[in-house]
A and B are shown apart, each in its own frame.
Chain A
């Protein structure tokens, strides 16, 4: 079975960089400004530092981001873009502004919850503001030509990721979920230039596999929810004789699904892609999320759903009953798993997943 690994240098290159924390961040703007946009997404054994600034009743991902900022000593770290994706992110922005000194550039961006014409018009202004803020802070102009080049690069990356995910439609799986997890995590951290090269050659390698040993023919699982800091759920699923065949996660398909379309105005094109992308639970149109889920279940022949939430993630917690109603009541089993982002509760999570898969 083919596998892939990413070195520390791949994941943390010595380039001037700007961090982001939510997939509604239009990375292309940051990249076209000459910075390496990377997602702050680390599993941390504890968020001790951040816990003195943010209450333990707030999302542990957000606390891990603040912890990262408070510890950061990397001179190549030039800034952060925080998106108002939820209440906890708003809190992150307040704390980052006041207590993190590592990033001279801090930008807060509004993202509507709606996707209609008015919302898109407003979001386009927000994307323009990010561009203007980067230009004025760093004294450099972001040309349209640079934006189009970046869009091509990012579109290529998204298409490659989609190709990788598409491979999992086959009933005879040739790639492990844990391997896909490594790729998707790297895609959010590595410069797209080197990531695309590496993924292209990995895809070739998969196609050219001579010994086509396929994975278990056990139940096919889709993970739906907020985001994964580590691969523990996927590992447990695979160790239990099942396979993860798709995800609807912020750190998964919601990151790369849908390309920026060509047009006259790169800002408008970028804004459309980001606002109208596969929706997070924060968005108004829950129906659209459920419809997407139903289509994925069909396309990827899903036998069961693991609904994963990061603790205290209200948007996803409030959507869980709807998932239960829409899938479980229609005969597709759903298991809710709550994670604390610091790798806790492993034993309990294992027992629940094993029982779930046995039931399937």
Chain B
């Protein structure tokens, strides 16, 4: 953690041109030599997309994470994600302010703080006027509810992508039909023409990004780990909403090249690797010393994290809606739990981890619903597992000493 490299942000600054210019500059000037150039590019991408949405020169939609991004890029529509914006607000130290707005408006503190911060930002109209709001249902109920609220607040059309919890042909066909219907309506709303060629192009770009992302994940199997997990956990926007953009191809390609070089030199950004961990679920986004302690002081590498899993097959440009539907339906969080635990165990083996750290974000119901089954699956294989209850967007319940001592105990056990 280096506060000197962070911009001090206030709520009022966020929509201003000066915030964009300063953030871009800060991103460029960050002196952390262990940070990848690809991460800098990704931050630029997110800043640029937000800036374009604020300027209103391009149509934009508010979405949940893992929305059908290829279709949006084919229509030249910017996807801005409520959840990932909330995580950025937490990073700026502003989440408590937006959580307060949500609570004043009768949103209970018992829901997921990421989405509650998101709904606070929606109520406060932090986002510029979107052309539409989209929600995909496979991750959680709360995302769909928050985005439904956003469509009411901004008085604009709401598209709900109903993603069944199964992977059969019926589910793919149902989702593909919804995507096609949504694409035509979005085209009408925004005036952006939808054509086969643009869709095919977005699918091709998605496939290219996928190829490099798979390569990145393969390179990251190296010992010692060539990338900080805390940094990799910040790629959620890209993996959830970047596919189909040119930028995602460039970022993953750049990442693969940088990591290859690091592996050749046996370079690890934490200096020395004592432990290797598999990270499950999201990360703390608020300002804390958590990762500094884990990575820099305890020398524990997060070798891989489930959020960066590239779970889908190559998409078919000839069948864009069907392909994207498959990508949504096959999402690792969707479908049978046993096939997912098999995937997680495979990660633990491929990434040669000493143990699994599950960050149980308070308020995340789907995650709590799977926790025991996953824990038992790892234990059955003799892979050490720890789950720590904490919050992702709010530091109000972050007790550094307690958390560190749990981590110490776990690391002692696996060391």
Query: Residues of A at under 8 Å CB distance from B?
Result: 52-55, 57-59, 84, 86-88, 90-92, 94-95, 97-98, 108, 110, 112-114, 118-119, 121-122, 125, 282, 284, 286, 311-312, 314-315, 317-322, 324, 336, 338
Contacts and interface: CB of A to CB of B under 8 A. Distances in A.
B162 interface: yes
Contact of A314 (B145, B166, B171, B371): B145
B106 A58 contact: no
Interface string B166-182: 10001100100110010
B310 to A, nearest CB: 23
Given A87-B140, A114-B160, A95 B372 contact: yes
B373 A94 contact: yes
Given A284-B160, A321-B105, 20 more contacts: A52-B372, A53-B372, A57-B368, A87-B140, A90-B165, A91-B365, A91-B368, A92-B369, A98-B376, A112-B174, A113-B137, A114-B162, A118-B174, A122-B170, A284-B144, A286-B152, A314-B112, A314-B141, A318-B107, A322-B152
Contacts of A119: 162, 174
B369 A88 contact: yes
B148 interface: yes
Contacts of B62: none
A290 B170 CA distance: 32
A317 B178 contact: no
A320 B106 contact: yes
Q: Which of A59, A92, A94, A97 has the most CB of B within 10 A?
A: A94
A311 B110 contact: yes
Contacts of B152: 286, 322
Contacts of B144: 113, 284
B162 A112 contact: yes
Contacts of B366: 87, 90-91
A349 B158 CA distance: 36
B385 to A, nearest CB: 15
Contacts of A54: 368-369, 372
Contacts of B157: none
Interface in B63-117: 105-108, 110-112
Contacts of A98: 337, 372-373, 376
B110 A317 contact: yes
A87 B108 contact: no
Q: Which of A54, A57, A98, A320 has the most CB of B within 10 A?
A: A57
B370 interface: yes
Contacts of B368: 54-55, 57-58, 91
A87 B170 contact: no
A98 B148 CA distance: 34
Contacts of A53: 372
A277 B329 CA distance: 26
Contacts of B369: 54-55, 58, 87-88, 90-92, 94-95
Contacts of B337: 94, 97-98
Given A113-B160, A314-B365, A315-B145, A94 B110 contact: no
Interface in B357-371: 360, 362-363, 365-366, 368-371
A67 B394 CA distance: 32
Given A58-B368, A88-B369, A122 B110 contact: no
A15 to B, nearest CB: 30
A321 B111 CA distance: 13
B146 interface: yes
Contacts of B111: 314, 317-318
Contacts of B370: 91, 94
Contacts of A319: 145
Interface string B320-356: 0000000000000000010000000000000000000
Contacts of B149: 318, 321-322
Given A54-B368, A90-B366, A118-B181, A321 B142 contact: no
B164 interface: yes
A7 B368 CA distance: 37
Contacts of B146: 318
A87 B143 CA distance: 11
5 contacts: A55-B360, A318-B142, A318-B145, A320-B106, A324-B106
A122 B162 CA distance: 10
B377 to A, nearest CB: 9
A286 B148 CA distance: 8
A250 to B, nearest CB: 15
Contact of B166 (A55, A110, A286): A110
A90 B158 CA distance: 25
A319 B111 CA distance: 12
B165 A84 contact: yes
A314 B111 CA distance: 7
A336 B337 CA distance: 35
Contacts of A121: 174
